[in-house]
Amino acid sequence: MRAWYHARTVGQKQAVWAWIFLALPLFFFIAIRLFPTGYTTYVSLTDWNLLRPKNFIGAANYLRLWNDPIFWQVFWNTFKYLLIGMPISLVLSFLVAYYLDQVRFLQGTIRALYFIPFLTTAAAMAWVWRWFYQPVPIGIFNLILVDLGFSQQPFLRSTSQALGSILAPAIWAGLGFQVVIFLAGLRAIPETYYEAARIDGVGRWTILKEITLPLLRPTILFLVVVSSIGFLRIFDKVYNMTVDGKGGPLNTTRPLVLNIYQLAFTDYRMGYAAAQTMVLFLVLLAVTVVQLRALRTK
Amino acid sequence: MASVSLSGIVKRFDRTVVVHGIDLDIADGEFVVLVGPSGCGKSTTLRMIAGLEDLTAGQIRIGERVVDRLEPKDRNIAMVFQNYAIYPHMTVRKNIAFGLRMAKLPKPEEDRRVREAAEILGLVDLLERRPSQLSGGQRQRVAIGRAMVRNPAVFLFDEPLSNLDAQLRAQMRLEIKKLHQTLGTTVVYVTHDQVEAMTLADRIVVMRDGRIEQVGAPTELYRRPASMFVARFIGSPSMNMIPGVIAEGVGAVGLDGVGTVSGLGELENASAGRRVFLGVRPDDLRVATEAGGGPLSLEARVGVIEPLGPETLVYAEVGGRELVAKADGRISLRRGDVVRLVADVDELHVFDAETEVVLRR
Amino acid sequence: MIFGFDPSRDPRKILIWTLVALGGLVMIMPFAFMISTSLKGRGEVYDLRLVPLAPTLENYTYLFRETKFVRWFLNSFSIASISTISVLFFDSLAGYVLCKYRFKGRQVVFVAILSTLMIPTEMLVIPWYVMSKNMGWLDTYWGIMFPGMITGFGVFLMKQFFETVPDALIDAARIDGLGEFRIFWEVALPLVTPALSALAIFTFLGSWTAFLWPLIVTNSSSNYTVPVGLASFSGEFSTEWNMIMTGAAVATIPTLVVFILLQKYIIRGVILSGVKG
């Protein structure tokens, strides 16, 4: 072994080391990431329920999914989180970053205030917000409403308000990250562009529209994708804010990941759950591909 | 101390051949400079000597040993890199001593060598500093010190001065030369700067596209370039090239639109009608104060003038072509003046236009 | 003029500052209410003032004595620490190799690792569960940790950062006679400590706040992590909001402390890597 090693050239010795160093990580990625990906794909084609052996049933799970009203409800819920949450959080975080960028006094501290929710345990914060939504005399939101002379709202107990009520803390938690990224993007724009615009007598609004936003394009795209993926994968908050973690009332808040969790680990319908993870995977893949495309066109 | 000998060195990266079979013998104690434009394979050659790159083919000996399969540390070499490559997280002392520590040298010996190197390089007061607190020149000294303490048989320098400003470069050049004279160790030095090559080398190896173009002492390369490439590469401003054609009769070349030069003597492989270039260095092309003949005597119109003090560079137009000449600094010239450019026959070079090889030695 | 802020000169700036700062205060109101309520006695819960009339630690004492929070806390802490150390070591080693070595198959390995970034955790929990069941890892520390021992994100991040270490430095170390592992450990690694600290913080926080997988893989309450424990505890105590807020505070306060101590590194890390781990 030693003699063999010494007979290698310098480049060959380095290759030997490279593979030694990579051996464990590579094994890990194959065993823990790549192989399970294939395994899930396979399970999605079976009727496996942990109790009896797997039967290959072809695309039956996918057909069932196509005809399953609950799946479609869940799928639509997931997109509601995305389609409402993503634009609101982006606009809000841009506004905060845009104005925060213009102030100097205590800027770092204010940025930190916005950022803190991003780091905290989602499960814990979900319970805090759940408490806020309680009826009088417990919940602060309803107390404020009543104090201002409005009527109480059901929030999490209502089929029409629950999804929005869960979305609020989700937006709140992700806002700080987006503010920080937007701020960094704004600061990366060279001051000379603004100076040149000011010398040309361009107004504030035009500068924003013609200089700032176009130059922020990569940042915006990045945040669109990251926050889209975040909303598509929403789980912790819904699990902790709905009764028994079921995504109620009447499944109106249940997102795809929660549905997968219930199917796989409460009902043990592994095959059917696996088919739904494939759907999630394809949606996430599509988002990423769209991003890569959009980045390339510029 | 040791000689270095390269035979048939080839380096291929994937499909591209970077070095095409180089043969070179470097004597013990010699200072050899590999010079050429970027991408000519000079750095790769040096890295193969160091053991940082594998050979695709060929053999390298250092002293009597074939070193092809030895790791860098076992080749008895030391190397100084372009970006200094000193460890930013270690003090100067640790940087210099690092290789010795790896070689498990006894501590007193290590200290002695570090002190000795620091004294030679004027680093004694800086030993406890960190690289970030040093100037570019000081960092380069640390890098040299690190190489010195190993007492290597061969020093390898990879463009060590290219990150320094012009003044510092000239100063460090002198120090490296002194160091070589003091230590007497074999040096292989890579640079793209022909001035560095000329001033430092015992012998220069001019490389181009992975091949050796010419090997020789600095003055030899300057006076007797073997090809147009070497002629242009060595010397600044670079050699004037006037296209022409070999005329009937011995040693005569007809220059395009300018006239004929004769008295060049025997030209190798010269059949009449062959396209050639007549080369003459700006240093040898003088602005004549009086009208007069010579083997080369051209009427020219002065364009741009660059006074350098003792002499003046004159960019003059001859037959629609710009030539560079030197004039005595005391002559006053103005744009548009018509002057005569002359050169001695000994200073004229003739190159084949197609093969670019010299026809007259 | 103080801090580059001259109130008398630009009323527009004052307005902007006030609005942005008020927004920031609103952002941390949930924490304020959470902590304040955790300090209130049973009788004071329905009183929503921010400063408790009679602050008491009785909720905390109860939580630490009568529930398994201390245990969950230790579970989370051990798991997050071990995962972080493993991620730092293996991710930086793999990133280093992919950045600085030239060998056949390098590109394939890199693409393979990169492609794992595209696969969401949710798609892998079923095979992980089956694997854990077969290997007897269900309801163990290792079962909670194993999917996060090495991360594609970290490998990618470290690879990017090793680009800033000059190749010549590694060559110089080879000539100095350092072995390949020691070049990594003694020369390259010390030069990427900013990236390492960012990766450490993200990995630790990611592990600390992870919910879905620990929820799946744990069974017995003594093996819960803090978020899973909190969820089950809150479900049980569903009307005792001061207890739930105390639990939430215990889960949150460590991350707040980490943030306050390491704010500079965290924000820089977020900007550098652009993504949470």
Cross-chain Cβ contact B81/C191 below 8 Å: no
Q: Of all helices (H) and strands (E), which one includes residue B245?
A: strand B240-246
What's chain C's length in residues? Answer: 277
User: A15-18, long-range: CB within 8 Å, 24+ apart, which pairs?
Assistant: A15/C101, A15/C103, A15/C104, A17/C101, A17/C180, A17/C181, A18/C97, A18/C101, A18/C103, A18/C106
Give the three-class secondary structure for B305: strand
Look at residues C27, C53, C25, C19 and name the one whose alpha carbon lies nearest to residue C39.
C53
Do both A105 and A34 map to the same domain? Answer: no
pLDDT attached to residue B264: 79
Cross-chain Cβ contact B53/A6 below 8 Å: no
Cross-chain Cβ contact A120/C252 below 8 Å: yes
Residue B277: CB partners within 8 Å, gap ≥ 6?
B228, B241, B242, B243, B244, B350, B351, B353
Read off the pLDDT of residues C206-259 as tens digits, 9 standing for 90 and up: 999 999 999 999 999 999 999 999 999 888 887 788 899 999 999 998 888 888
Which residues partner with B16 through β-bridges?
A: B13
pLDDT attached to residue A262: 93
Read off the pLDDT of residues A13-61 as tens digits, 9 standing for 90 and up: 899 999 999 999 999 999 999 999 999 999 999 998 888 888 889 889 9
Chains touching chain A, criterion 3+ CB pairs below 8 Å: B, C
Q: Is residue A217 scored above 60 in pLDDT?
A: yes
What's chain B's length in residues? Answer: 361
Cross-chain Cβ contact B69/A6 below 8 Å: yes
Residue B215 CA to residue B35 CA, distance in Å, equals: 10
Read off the pLDDT of residues C94-108 as tens digits, 9 standing for 90 and up: 999 999 998 889 999
| Amino acid identity at C32 | A
pLDDT attached to residue B95: 92
Read off the pLDDT of residues C63-75 as tens digits, 9 standing for 90 and up: 999 889 999 999 9
Is some CB atom of chain C closer than 8 A to the CB atom of B102? yes
Cross-chain Cβ contact B69/A11 below 8 Å: no
The answer to whether ipTM exceeds 0.85 is yes
CA distance B90 to chain C (A): 10
Give the three-class secondary structure for B79: strand
Could you count the other beta carbons within 10 Å of the beta carbon of residue C23? 19
Is some CB atom of chain C closer than 8 A to the CB atom of B197? no
Share of chain C above pLDDT 90, in %: 62
Could you count the other beta carbons within 10 Å of the beta carbon of residue A19? 16
Is some CB atom of chain A closer than 8 A to the CB atom of C209? yes
Could you count the other beta carbons within 10 Å of the beta carbon of residue C124? 24
pLDDT attached to residue A164: 94
Domain boundaries, chain C: 11-56, 67-273
Residue B77: CB partners within 8 Å, gap ≥ 6?
B49, B50, B51, B62, B152, B153, B154, B155, B156, C175
Residue A212 lies in a domain: yes
DSSP letter at A102?
T
pLDDT attached to residue B209: 92
Closest residue to B54, CB basis, from A6, A7, A10:
A10
Query: Predicted confidence band at C3 (pLDDT cuts at 50, 70, 90)?
Result: very low
Query: Which residue is associated with the tokens 């490439």?
Result: B229
Do both A30 and A163 map to the same domain? Answer: no
pLDDT attached to residue B61: 93
Q: What's the token pair of residue A34?
A: 């790549």
Residue C192 CA to residue C187 CA, distance in Å, equals: 10
| Most trustworthy range by pLDDT among A188-197, A202-211, B275-284, C78-87 | C78-87
Cross-chain Cβ contact C17/A103 below 8 Å: yes
Give the three-class secondary structure for B185: coil
Residue B340: CB partners within 8 Å, gap ≥ 6?
B287, B288, B291, B292, B297, B298, B299, B300
Query: Predicted confidence band at A111 (pLDDT cuts at 50, 70, 90)?
Result: very high
Domain count within chain A: 2
- Are the CB atoms for A227 and A89 separated by under 8 Å? yes
Closest residue to C174, CB basis, from B72, B78, B87:
B72
Q: What's the token pair of residue B279?
A: 């080369």
Do both A38 and A154 map to the same domain? Answer: no
- Report the CATH superfamily, name and number, of domain C67-273: MetI-like (1.10.3720.10)
Residue A233 lies in a domain: yes
CA distance C227 to chain A (A): 6
Query: Predicted confidence band at A234 (pLDDT cuts at 50, 70, 90)?
Result: very high
Phi, psi of B38 (to 5 degrees): -65, 145
Read off the pLDDT of residues C126-155 as tens digits, 9 standing for 90 and up: 999 999 999 999 999 999 999 999 999 999
Q: Is residue A185 scored above 50 in pLDDT?
A: yes
Q: Is residue C7 scored above 70 in pLDDT?
A: no
Share of chain A above pLDDT 90, in %: 63
Q: Is residue C1 scored above 70 in pLDDT?
A: no
CA distance C231 to chain A (A): 6
Residue A150 lies in a domain: yes
Q: Which residue of C has its CA nearest to B104?
A: C177
Cross-chain Cβ contact A105/C259 below 8 Å: no
Do both A88 and A17 map to the same domain? Answer: no
CA distance C174 to chain B (A): 6
CA distance C273 to chain A (A): 10
Q: Is residue C276 scored above 50 in pLDDT?
A: no
Chain C residues 135-164 with a CB less than 8 Å from chain A: 146-147, 149-150, 152, 155
Q: Which residues of chain B have pLDDT under 50?
A: none
Look at residues A94, A105, A91, A172 and name the one whose alpha carbon lies nearest to residue C21.
A105
Do both A183 and A271 map to the same domain? Answer: yes
Residue B262: CB partners within 8 Å, gap ≥ 6?
B247, B249, B251, B252, B253, B295
Assign residue A194 the CATH number of its domain. 1.10.3720.10
Q: Which domains are seen in chain B, by residue range? A: 4-232 (3.40.50.300), 239-352 (2.40.50.140)
Cross-chain Cβ contact C122/A257 below 8 Å: yes
**Under the phi-then-psi rule, with left for phi > 0, alpha for psi from -120 to 50, and beta for the rest, what region is B159?**
left
Do both A247 and A121 map to the same domain? Answer: yes
Domain assignment of residue A15, given as a range: 2-43
Looking at residues A211-224, what average pLDDT do you find?
A: 89
- Are the CB atoms for B277 and B351 separated by under 8 Å? yes
Residue A59 lies in a domain: no
Is some CB atom of chain A closer than 8 A to the CB atom of C108? no
| Alpha helices, H only, chain A | 2-6, 10-28, 35-43, 60-66, 69-100, 107-119, 122-132, 140-147, 162-187, 191-199, 204-207, 213-215, 217-232, 236-241, 256-265, 270-296
Query: Which residue is associated with the tokens 């001695």?
Result: B344
Q: Average model confidence (pLDDT) for chain A?
A: 91
- Are the CB atoms for B186 and B1 separated by under 8 Å? yes
- Are the CB atoms for C226 and C73 separated by under 8 Å? yes
Could you count the other beta carbons within 10 Å of the beta carbon of residue A31? 12
pLDDT attached to residue B257: 77
pLDDT attached to residue C275: 43
